[in-house]
């Protein structure tokens, strides 16, 4: 039959294009410890779930002898598939084809799948592995980037957008990941920067390797551009799949519900927190003692460790956690931790995920470097994010909640729905030492035994104010609870606030202190 001949023709055409940049280029890619674009898609999506589009797209550039060059699929693979049954749209740049460079048709394929993701209200995953703009295509390349950035912005807060950096991502190209919700990087493979080492050397005379300038570690520990760090591509894909289970497909839905499971008994909430508020402990153990199956999925684990953010489930439902970490820098708020937490709170709010805040902090970090780095502006982000969020907001004050830090950490005054405090909570303008030194300065100075008087006044202050009952007497704290009652109170509060509705004044948009 004639149709059989045509089918054979299609099969041949497919085979030719499926090889991408050819065997040599594929070998080169493998030598770098990288998979090909197609292998990556297959590894990430459910088996046999990938539907590819635009396989036969070709560029039509004519300058610089480009007419003679054939670039299979124009260096990018697009399509849709599923992860644990959840539909996702995906693109993967193919470094074996012209270095994954972005030309006009390459960008049109990406924007096509982005439009598709937004219209279908499904998550978008972008795998970046590209040398940058295809210089031969000139301004058309730049136009392509602009069209991508615009769609990233319009889709922001509507569908989850995930960027996976599995190769170089330089110059303008970095701004697409920067506009998305979560950025995944892999050690030694990911490289992101605006200007590379060569330009920096020519212009400024500073020498630095690509890895030290914009490697995976740099972006996970120093810049905060990356949210998830992995040692291998395989580990990275596992992280992405795990994330997908915690987030909804779009802003009109809630995340998938799971079977509720009790926390593991080895996390004993009564034994984690030392009574002395100056001693450290790992706040993640407290989170694990509260969430389903003690399963906590941390985000930005290596950046601004003095605050912990991530997802867990309460009674099977995804919940966002924000918690001060007394183990790192005593859990102070500073420029980076405010920035980190504020963005996460806005993420949860955009995607209908309730927020549980665990409070134990000495306040904001003092210092010239902090003030000059803009701790006023960055610290304000946290106030803005909590105030603006209309998802259920639950707060547990564990020990210290001093000064501005008390207000910022989802206090009643920023419209937390439920505020609980443990008996060990100290809700006050500052720590007893600092407060006594100021309030009783005269008495201490004029005393025959200043040290003795100071100690006595500190004790007096502790007795009177370093507790949860002053705040409870004003209704700023709804209930003082035993640590072992925490999960029960939180689960109940989440059930109660399932249908929470808050009317905000009409506006085009607010002006968060970016």
Partner 1 sequence: MKINEKFGVLNIDTTLYKTRISSRFSNRIPYKPVDPHLILSFIPGTVLDILVKPGQTVKKGDDLMILDSMKMQNQLKCNIDGKVKSILVSKGDRVSKGMVLIEIE
Residue numbers at the binding site for partner 1 (CB under 8 A)? 203-206, 278-282, 305-306, 326-332, 362-363, 365-369, 402, 430-434, 437
Residue 370 C-beta: closest distance to partner 1, Å: 10
Task: Specify the residue, 252 or 274, whose C-beta has the smaller distance to partner 1.
Answer: 274
Angle between helices 335-350 and 375-388 (to 10 degrees): 20
**3-class SS string, 346-389:** HHHHHCCCCEEEEEEECCECCCHHHHHCCHHHHHHHHHHHHHHC
Nearer to partner 1 among residue 325 and residue 486 (C-beta) = 325
Q: Contacts from 235-241 at CB under 8 Å and sequence distance 24+?
A: 235/186, 236/164, 236/166, 236/184, 236/185, 236/186, 237/40, 237/43, 237/44, 239/184, 240/44, 240/83, 240/125, 240/162, 240/164, 240/184, 241/44, 241/83, 241/84
Buried b vs exposed e over 210-238: b needs ≥16 C-beta within 10 Å? eeebbbbbbbbbeebbbbbbbeebeebbe
Q: Which is nearer to partner 1, 305 or 415 (CB)?
A: 305
Nearer to partner 1, 306 or 486 (CB): 306
Nearer to partner 1, 329 or 481 (CB): 329
**Contact in structure between 128 and 252 (CB atoms under 8 Å):** no
CB of residue 430 vs partner 1: minimum separation in angstroms? 5
Nearer of residues 87 and 434 to partner 1, judged by Cβ: 434
Bridge partners, 299 (sequence order): 309
Q: Give backbone dihedrals phi and psi of 418, rounded to 5 degrees, phi first.
A: -135, 130
- In angstroms, the CA 160 to CA 152 distance is 10
Give the sign of the dihedral formed by CA 254, CA 417, CA 180, CA 307.
negative
SS (H, E, C) 156-175: CCCCCEEEEECCEEEHHHHH
Provide, rounded to whole angstroms, the least separation between the CB of residue 403 and partner 1: 8
CB-wise, 35 or 399, nearer to partner 1? 399
Supply the angle between the helices 37-44 and 233-246 in degrees, to the nearest 10. 40
Q: Alpha-carbon Rg of the chain, whole angstroms?
A: 27
CB of 446 to partner 1, least distance (A): 20
CB of 426 to partner 1, least distance (A): 11
φ/ψ bin of 294: left (φ > 0), alpha (ψ from -120 to 50), beta (otherwise): left
- Separation between Cα atoms, residue 504 and residue 73, nearest integer Å: 47
CB of 513 to partner 1, least distance (A): 22
Shortest distance (Å) from residue 269 CB to partner 1: 16
Q: Which is nearer to partner 1, 113 or 329 (CB)?
A: 329
- Nearest approach in angstroms of CB 182 to partner 1 is 24
Rounded to the nearest whole angstrom, what is the least distance from the CB of residue 194 to partner 1 in the complex? Answer: 15
Tell me whether residue 345 or residue 458 sits nearer to partner 1 (CB atom). 458
């Amino acid at each position: 039959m004639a149709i059989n001949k045509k089918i054979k023709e299609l099969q041949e055409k497919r085979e030719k294009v499926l090889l991408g940049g050819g065997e040599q280029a594929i070998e080169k890619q493998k030598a770098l410890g990288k998979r090909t674009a197609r292998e990556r898609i297959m590894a990430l999506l459910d088996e046999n779930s990938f539907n590819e589009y635009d396989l036969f797209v070709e560029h039509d550039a004519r300058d610089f002898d480009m007419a003679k060059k054939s670039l299979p699929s124009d260096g990018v693979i697009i399509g849709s598939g599923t992860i644990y049954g959840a539909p996702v749209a995906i693109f993967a740049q193919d470094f074996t084809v012209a270095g994954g460079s972005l030309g006009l048709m390459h960008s049109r394929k990406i924007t096509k799948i982005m439009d598709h993701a937004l219209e279908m209200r499904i998550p978008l995953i972008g795998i970046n592995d590209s040398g940058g703009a295809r210089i031969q295509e000139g301004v058309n390349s730049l136009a392509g980037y602009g069209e991508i950035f615009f769609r990233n912005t319009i889709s922001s807060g509507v569908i989850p957008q995930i960027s996976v950096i599995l190769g170089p991502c330089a110059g303008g190209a970095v701004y697409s990941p920067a506009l998305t919700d979560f950025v995944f990087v892999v050690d030694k493979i990911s490289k992101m920067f605006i200007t590379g080492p060569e330009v920096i050397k020519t212009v400024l005379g500073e020498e630095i390797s690509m890895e030290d300038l914009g490697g995976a570690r740099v972006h996970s520990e120093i810049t905060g551009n990356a949210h998830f760090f992995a040692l291998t591509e395989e580990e990275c894909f596992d992280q992405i799949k795990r994330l997908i289970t915690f987030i909804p497909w779009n802003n009109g839905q809630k995340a998938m519900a799971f079977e509720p499971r009790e926390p593991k008994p080895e996390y004993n909430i009564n034994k984690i927190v030392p009574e002395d508020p100056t001693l450290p402990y790992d706040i993640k153990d407290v989170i694990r003692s509260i969430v389903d199956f003690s399963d906590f999925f941390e985000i930005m684990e290596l950046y601004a460790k003095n605050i912990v953010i991530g997802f867990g489930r309460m009674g099977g439902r995804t919940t966002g956690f924000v918690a001060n970490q007394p183990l790192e820098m005593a859990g102070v708020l500073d420029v980076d931790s405010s920035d980190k937490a504020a963005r996460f709170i806005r993420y949860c709010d955009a995607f209908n995920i309730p927020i549980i805040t665990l409070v134990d902090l000495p306040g904001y970090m003092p210092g010239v470097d902090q003030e000059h780095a803009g701790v006023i502006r960055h610290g304000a982000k946290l106030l803005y994010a909590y105030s603006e969020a209309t998802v259920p907001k639950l707060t547990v004050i564990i020990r210290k909640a001093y000064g501005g830090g008390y207000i910022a950490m989802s206090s009643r005054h920023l419209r937390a729905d439920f505020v609980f405090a443990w008996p060990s909570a100290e809700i006050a303008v500052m720590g007893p030492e600092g407060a006594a030194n100021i309030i009783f300065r005269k008495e201490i100075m004029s005393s025959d035994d200043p040290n003795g008087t100071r100690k006595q006044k500190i004790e007096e202050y502790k007795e009177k104010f370093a507790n949860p009952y002053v705040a409870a007497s004003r209704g700023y704290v709804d209930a003082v609870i035993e640590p072992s009652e925490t999960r029960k109170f939180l689960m109940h509060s989440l059930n109660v606030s399932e249908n929470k509705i808050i009317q905000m004044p009409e506006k085009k948009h607010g002006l968060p202190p970016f």
